[in-house]
Amino acid sequence: MTAIRRPTRRSGTARSCRFALGAMSAAMLARPAMAQQGAIPARDPLFGAQPDPAPAAEQADAMTEPLVRFLADGGPVIWAIAALSVATLTIILWKTWRLAGAGAWRRGHARDAVAAYERGDHAATRAILTHRGGPRSIVVRAAVAGRAEKPDALAREDTLRVARNELAEAATGLRALELIATIAPLLGLLGTVLGMIAAFQALQESGTRADPGRLAGGIWEALLTTAAGMAVAIPASAALTWFEAVIDRMRRDIEDAVTRIFVAPAPPPEDRARAAE
């Protein structure tokens, strides 16, 4: 005889859970229809719908609108100044990279080589200067090699030639920065003058019905180019001064190193023969 199992409390709980899950599924299936009728918001998190991209686009437009209006109000002159600003930033970054790669801020190897030369340790001097590509190291290497291979007068002339070439290479691009720092304010002033001419022409055409507000608007729009030109010229001038200071320090270091090499005792004959080989 098969015993009939009595229903336990666990089976009742399972039925309750299945009922709750079914109710939740029915509610989720019914939500899209309710959303279409406007009963609930369509962007309910339960749907997994993507957020509306309209606010982000509106925010981007709000951020770019002042710039577009600024370029439009300034006219062709403001576009020329904007191009100069891009060129200024490019030259500053490129020049910083070039000077860093040339070792403009590294003086240790050339200083150590000169100190070794003054001690008479010419082998250590050559070892320190091997495969060094900075302007200081190149000039010091030329001075050491020239003094070992040539008379002092010829060695000085050759070292001076190498130093001039290295410093000229280090100064590449500074003329462009100087030109931008000079013409950017002049372009801004030109745009302001042209804008003032246009504003007063409009005032003359309006006759007795002149609108002071319109005149003031034309004047401040004309002054935008002056402000833009100064905003480009100031960083260009500051960067130019900084680069010139870096190159001047390189020049002083090179002059000091070359002078110390030529006043040091001459290398012995065996070192001269080794350098000639």
Question: What is the per-residue pLDDT for 217?
Answer: 66
Q: Would you say the pTM of this structure is higher than 0.75?
A: no
Quickly list DSSP for the chain. -PPPPPPPHHHHHHHHHHHHHHHHHHHHHHHHHHHHTTSS-TT-GGGTPPPPSHHHHHHHHHHHHHHHHHHHHH-HHHHHHHHHHHHHHHHHHHHHHHHHHTTTT--HHHHHHHHHHHHT-HHHHHHHHTT--SHHHHHHHHHHHHHHHS-HHHHHHHHHHHHHHHHHHHTTTHHHHHHHHHHHHHHHHHHHHHHHHHHHHHHHHHGGG--HHHHHHHHHHHHHHHHHHHHHHHHHHHHHHHHHHHHHHHHHHHHHHHHHHHHSPPPPHHHHHHHH-
Tens of pLDDT, residue by residue over 73-99, are: 656 888 899 999 999 999 999 999 999
Mean per-residue pLDDT, 47-67: 55
pLDDT greater than 70 at residue 13 = no
Question: What is the per-residue pLDDT for 57?
Answer: 56
Tens of pLDDT, residue by residue over 137-185, are: 899 999 988 888 888 889 899 999 999 999 999 999 999 999 999 999 9
Residue 209 vs residue 106, higher pLDDT: 106
Tens of pLDDT, residue by residue over 230-262, are: 999 999 999 999 999 999 999 999 999 999 999
Residue 211 vs residue 44, higher pLDDT: 211
